[in-house]
Chains A and B, each alone.
Chain A
Amino acid sequence: MDERELRERFDAIGVPPSRVHVGALVAEGRRRVKRRRSWQAAGGAALAIGGLLVVPSVVFHPRPGPNLSDGVPVASRTASAPVSPAGSVPAAPCVMTNLPLPKGFTSVSVVAVDPTGRYIVGNGFSGQNFLPVLWTDGKPQALPMRGESVELSAVNSQGVVVGLITENNKDYTFRYQNGRYTKLRTPAGSWRVYPVPEINTVGDIVINAEPSGNTGGKDSIALIWPAGATAAMKIALPDGANVMAITDDGTMIGTMYKNGGAVAGYAWDAQGRTHKLTTPSGQTAAAYAGRGDWATGGLWPRESAVRWNLRTGKLTEFKAPADADLAPAMDGLGPGEKVNAKGWVVVSGYVMRDDGPATLPVPTGLRAVAKDVSDDGLVVGQTVNAADTVVPRTWRC
């Protein structure tokens, strides 16, 4: 056996599956950074990497009314989740409800809600792998497994679920509908899709892909699977454009990257027009999610969450709540992750409204972490205790 052969053999060895997942690494890294920060007190050593792992999972809903969902009946709601009239900003605090776990699950991390609040998706864990969970009207269901891991990222108001299946260490975008998985093909060649797929109300699905082996979005392309399609279409966008969301009118929300860094947020509309989202001078921006008239994302170096009005172009910056538990060395909340049709922005576990953060009541000793919000104000997320035990919850706001 010569050295070249040995090299090849090493590369071909079948090793047991790894339980290490990049999301867990980031979570642990942040915890460690936070601990360091508290140890170092006001030392101010700038070795921290703060911020958010932004995995935008926007869901969409037709505008302006609730009755345009392609003939699909408007969903009935859970008894525990009374609906507040759309458009109103309730003065009362939000009401927490427990989201039950499917049988056999000990922990599920909530990811997204559809715009009507009927469907919620989340992921359980088995070692490093994700186990898909769908709640319909508050009732949990463990979806069937495919491959090693099934990670859900979004669901639309028709109950169409999207996410990533991992098979032999390769991620595939999928659509799950009527109890069936459909693998969504990428163009010819070897591509790695990232970060996670998003879907709008009609069922158009978007994601980005980079040539396998590249990192940081190098030579990336943006892909769309129009509703029902299994073959991807490459979206004609300039180099460096990453699509993070698609709204119901086909507008794509995303960010231009240059040399691996975000430069500005963009909206590319269905007519092929490009709209650069307002970026204050001296700042760069990234847009991560959009719905209706709104897009959300963040500014750097200010590290603040922002919301753009896609119609007027108006930029709104959200200040961190006074008691915010900011990531180490962070001045702001970090970028907005989700936005609903009323412009409520989910960022760093908070729901930011024009009148300030929504109050999400929790039992003593727990912390509320919002992940997404429906158009009528159903906040989905979880509570976390000091031991990092996660319990899925909703808050009706």
Chain B
Amino acid sequence: VNLVRLISWPYACQHRLRLILTASGIVLGVAVLVAIHTGNATVVHSFSQTVDRVAGATQLQVFASGSSGFSEEFLDAVRQRAEVQVAAPVIEQSVNFGLQKQESLLILGVDMLADSNLRQYDIDVGADEVADDIVMFLAQPDSLIITREFAQQNHLAVNSQISLPTAEGSRQFTVRGIMRPGGLASAFGGSLALMDIYAAQEMFGRGRSFDRIDVVLRPGFSVKDGQADLARVLGPGFSVEPPAARAQEFESLLDAYSRNMNLMSVFALLIGIFIIDNSFNVAVAQRRSEIGVLRALGATRRQIRWLFLIESTLVGLPASAVGVAFGLLLAWGSMKYISGFLQSLYGFSMVTKGIILSPGLIVSAFLIGVFTSVLAAVLPAQSAASIEPVRAFQKGRYQQLSLKEHRIRRAAAVVMGAVSAACLWAPSSPAAFYIGYIFSVLAAILLAPTVIIWLARLLRQPAQWLRPLEGTLAADSLIAAPRRTTTTVGALMLSLALVVALGGVSQAAYVSVQNWLDTTLNPDLFVSSSDKLLSSRFLFPSSMETELRAIPGVADVQGVRTVRISIAGSSRTLIATDLVKLFEHIKPEVFEGDLQRMAQLASQGQGVIISENFSTLENLHLQNWLEIPTPSGLLRLPIVGVIRDYTSPKGSLLIDGTVFQQYWKSGELDVFRVYLQSLASADDVKRRILENSRDRREVFVLTSRELKAYVLRSVNQWFGLTYLPILIAILVALLGIANTLLVSVTDRRRELAILRAVGGLRRQVRSIVSTEALLIALIGLVIGIALGAGNLYYALQIARRQIIGVGLSYQFPWKVTLLLFPAILLAAWVSAVWPGHSAVRQSVVEALEYE
């Protein structure tokens, strides 16, 4: 403690700025960790809370396979089971509307006659007790019960009119009751409205189908038994689960995102380790003489080691605390981001109010921060403890690497590189793949000092040419002390490699999706019930296809029905349409099978076409049989083709529309692909479609360009994380290079003083420091980009095998890479300002006496 008070504290006070920079590594890592998990947990909590509050006393929920809904007859089948006490049908749909305070309103269509057994509608105010009078409520299908919160926010009262979009155009609804806050009324952040289920069927164009049935079992029947019996009776086309299972399913949708973000937080902490390691190396370098004196005065190695470990702990504690606080602030952004892409990708609407604090997460993140800080200081502490008093006063030499160390590092790198290359020969083994990947990175880290020297020698000449004095001295400094630069360059290398790899994956995905859009989404217009194709709110009658075809300028119309179904525990998208006609218009990339043949077989109900990502993720190929759960039982079909289709991240299936009608007993459609006559104007036809639908049904007409822009926006949102590592890389450059230069300036105090003594200008000294910074950055860029180019291969493989199941072609991300050069070089230049100032500020006389 005395050593900390007498030695560490004055040093920390003297180097406050560096202390802050050092701590910022941990702050960043902890903040990212907290932000990601808190944002994630908030969204999941919000969803499960809505599910829970809407579920009420529901013990089991019956869904048809995926999101397709099912006909009313299944309700009778459920009600007739001996174990079922209450079976209440539900339609649940969020709608966007024009009121100012909220964008989404969750409409819950319920059978009020049965539903009071499940959910408590605590009605606050009713118009002449209408909301309390079921006959009165049901007899007026425009009846709506809203929450008090929603009413207050939108200045609504009983008998107020609300205009809501319906499948038949905008309709006026009347508020007949207001629910008191709490329970059901607090679901979906209070943005909830109840209406009669049969009115909801009409409103959402559901025909005579329900979304789900909520079940309460009779006393004496266990949930497990009830679940088993209902599942047996209803068959594989239905899922019978407790309400909590929906939240789990929802959470699984976030899997890929969570994995990405976890990788980011681990990466941020790794960079934090590098920064702290670097800072402590600086501290050890600057305090070598101090350590030598302490050792000479009798301080043991153990005491020296502990001194640095305690220092790192003292840095880690406040840094972790600040990181947690900062993370909670960032969590708002993270939450919005997750909500945004869940809506655009899966059509989930949610209202989140406030973030969910997890004490476990906060404590864990705090401890991880402190642990990381201590871990990062282990090697510098060891290095400090091993300083011999005699060598403590020899400047600079400890920054050199011995020939033996060079040889060992190179040999180890060669071995790891060879192992990594050998692993490429076993591409099907995931273990070999990941070992190969890790070894390739380790080999790069081991080779870094050697490469630094090589590159520094290589750059010496151009540096000398550009700045004869400053360039030469800066390059020589790097060549003479590779150890000093290794950590910074290593951190820079890793972060830049990640940027390049992620940038490459994004670019490849973007290009691939763009190609797919060009070949697949080629109709001139898309008619949907939502501006987001994947979250269509209403279904259209099949007769609308004929109506659209009759509009002047329309050459052809193709109705499509899309539903989500669950296969092998994951949500897939099932697309039902006239496949022969579809493949007349589009020519998707075929991976297995023949396009014409697969269209023929599928249209005859003799096969299913699957997407490449579904094929890869589930290892399904031509002639494998697929069991598709439908409300009418299992539909067993052979796979007759594998094509490129990016409709769903977990894969999609294409079947013929007639097969869908037969098994799902639903002829409704959700999207129409409209092809125009050659001379027709898309804008004119769009206007005609909208005019034709006015007051009859709610439609959105998207041009091909608008739809492509929407899809690409979603892709960008998904891969928007690419820019986070760029920020981290810039931070690494700023912190790492500043630290390295401070050590360099300290080590070369005498050298720089001599330069000034013989007439060197302050400007020249500053220039030496900034040139060294630029050289470090340049070396980091070169080896980081080289490693990134290699990592990109692995990243594409990981994306294909583990995340999206799509084989993306290798495309080096030139744009991102070119962006890195000015960003990192500028960061390096900025980071040299303080060390440069420090170098010219010191007294020449004192500096000459330094050794």
A, B in one complex: no
B residues neighboring A (CB under 8 Å): none
